[in-house]
Homo-oligomer: A and B are copies of this chain.
Amino acid sequence: MKDYDAVPLVKLFEHFERLPGIGRKTAQRLAYSILEMDEKVVKDFAECMINVKKSIHYCKLCCNFTDRDICPICSDPERDTSKICIVEDPKDVKAFERAKEYNALYHVIHGVISPLNGIGPDQLHLKELVDRLSSGKIKEVILATNPTVEGEATSLYISKLLKPMGVKVSRIAYGIPLGAVLEYTDGETLRRAINDRIEM
């Protein structure tokens, strides 16, 4: 098959294809949709991309993405400042915020310990976490890494790191998700659910 596509269009296909979860056909569909957009909108989209990259950085306290020094969550006077919830990724903060239950602070470590990928504890944002705890205001750290091998190993590491500092360390509950059917729940989840049972 000869390649009849114009070079700028092929370059745009490739850029879209590099985004997570976007395959070749979707990338082409997205690139074509750019061609059908208003020129002003495309310009604004492109500038927005560059602008985000320039203006967004890590919050000095929690390492979540923000365009200020201290992010709006860390500087919100209405939030409980005695607890920190540790998450792997800024998207996890959004997930908790959507759930509207937790009203204290977060700390984003940006990844998990993964020796196979060459990621050790030093590459995670743990130093910033230890600094936050040294003030003594934090009473509890809640570990909310993903229930994967790496996520759990990371939680274990953080737990061992923080316990000597005299702070309460907990982790979110693993178990049967709401709306699930026991019959179709995987064995590992059932094992967790039965072992982590709670007295009623």
Residue positions of A touching B, CB distance < 8 A: 1-2, 4, 6-9, 11-12, 15, 18-22, 26, 28-35, 37, 39, 41-56, 65-68, 71-73, 76, 89-91, 94, 97-98, 100
Shortest beta-carbon distance, A32 to chain B, in Å?
6
Which 4 interchain pairs have the tightest Cβ spacing?
A46-B46, A6-B67, A15-B45, A4-B72
| Cβ 8 A contact of A32, one of B9, B66, B71, B90 | B90
Q: Which residues of B contact A11 (CB under 8 A)?
A: 48, 52
A55 adjacent to B8 (CB under 8 Å): yes
Residue of B nearest to A29 (CB): B20
How many identical subunits does the complex contain? 2
Shortest beta-carbon distance, A14 to chain B, in Å?
9
Residue of B nearest to A97 (CB): B1
Shortest beta-carbon distance, A120 to chain B, in Å?
19
Shortest beta-carbon distance, A5 to chain B, in Å?
8
A91 adjacent to B34 (CB under 8 Å): no
A49 adjacent to B45 (CB under 8 Å): yes
Q: Which residues of B contact A97 (CB under 8 A)?
A: 1, 4
A103 to B118, alpha carbons, bound, how many Å?
A: 50
